[in-house]
């Protein structure tokens, strides 16, 4: 009887804490090859923002828009000199967050943002910029998290502990 080996493609997820991605990929490849397997490709799995983080982003946009409006800082006073437009969550997202996101990450959508690193970076930059520009007059709200309670309703909790 002639033995005809069959080939299978297997996907394995391996966690590795090496800080340099290329070193981590090489380490993973070497470890798997030591077990006698051929490795063709090692890809980093990106953790994109979650639905809860999306809800938190939009809550942050709303909270910041309220703070800006409470301080009498309409869009004209903050960004555009043409016409007095009050802030909304939509405006915060499209005039502050998204342009900064595009410049720093090259990403158009918040769905493409890294779950922790990029969201935190953007929030930190906005916080610093507003603190410097408005000399502490505008209080940037802490990044909110939305947690479901026992009734599956969402309760707003502002916490910095969720930020890595």
Q: How many domains does the chain have?
A: 2
Question: For the segment 92-109, what is each residue's pLDDT rounded down to a tens digit?
Answer: 999 899 999 999 999 999
Residues 145 and 65 in one domain: yes
Residues 69 and 116 in one domain: yes
Question: For the segment 119-160, what is each residue's pLDDT rounded down to a tens digit?
Answer: 989 999 999 998 888 888 888 888 765 543 333 333 444 433
Residues 118/143, Cβ–Cβ less than 8 Å:
no
Residues 115/53, Cβ–Cβ less than 8 Å:
yes
Question: For the segment 71-82, what is each residue's pLDDT rounded down to a tens digit?
Answer: 888 777 677 677
154, β-bridge pairs:
148
Question: For the segment 39-70, what is each residue's pLDDT rounded down to a tens digit?
Answer: 888 887 777 888 888 899 999 999 999 998 89
Q: CA triplet 111, 114, 116: central angle to 5 degrees? A: 120
pLDDT reading at 164 higher than 80: no
Q: What is the CA radius of gyration of the chain?
A: 23
Residues 71 and 142 in one domain: yes
- Where helices occur in 10-134 by DSSP H, the ranges are 21-33, 51-70, 75-78, 89-91, 98-105, 117-133
Give pLDDT, residue 145: 59
Quote the domain boundaries for residue 115: 51-158
Between residues 74 and 87, the one the model is more confident about? 87
Which residue, 57, 108, 121, 67, is CA-closest to 78? 67
C-alpha span between 63 and 140 (Å, rounded): 8
Question: For the segment 21-43, what is each residue's pLDDT rounded down to a tens digit?
Answer: 788 888 888 888 888 888 888 88
Interval 78-94 mean pLDDT:
82
Residues 140 and 63 in one domain: yes
Residues with Cβ within 8 Å of 137's Cβ and at least 6 positions away in sequence, in order, are 71
pTM for the whole structure: 0.52
């Amino acid at each position: 009887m002639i033995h005809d080996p069959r080939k299978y493609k297997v996907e394995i997820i391996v966690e590795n804490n090496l800080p340099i991605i290329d070193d981590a990929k090489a380490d993973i490849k070497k470890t798997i090859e030591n077990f006698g397997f051929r490795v063709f490709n090692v890809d980093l799995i990106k953790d994109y923002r979650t639905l809860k983080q999306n809800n938190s982003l939009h809550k942050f946009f709303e909270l910041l828009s309220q703070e800006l409006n409470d301080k009498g800082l309409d869009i004209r006073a903050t960004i555009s000199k043409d016409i007095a437009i009050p802030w909304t969550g939509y405006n915060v997202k499209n005039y502050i967050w998204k342009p900064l996101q595009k410049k720093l990450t090259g990403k158009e959508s918040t769905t493409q943002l890294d779950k922790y690193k990029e969201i935190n970076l953007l929030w930190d930059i906005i916080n610093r910029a507003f603190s410097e520009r408005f000399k502490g007059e505008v209080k940037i709200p802490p990044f909110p998290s939305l947690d479901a309670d026992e009734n599956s309703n969402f309760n707003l909790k502002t916490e910095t502990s969720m930020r890595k």
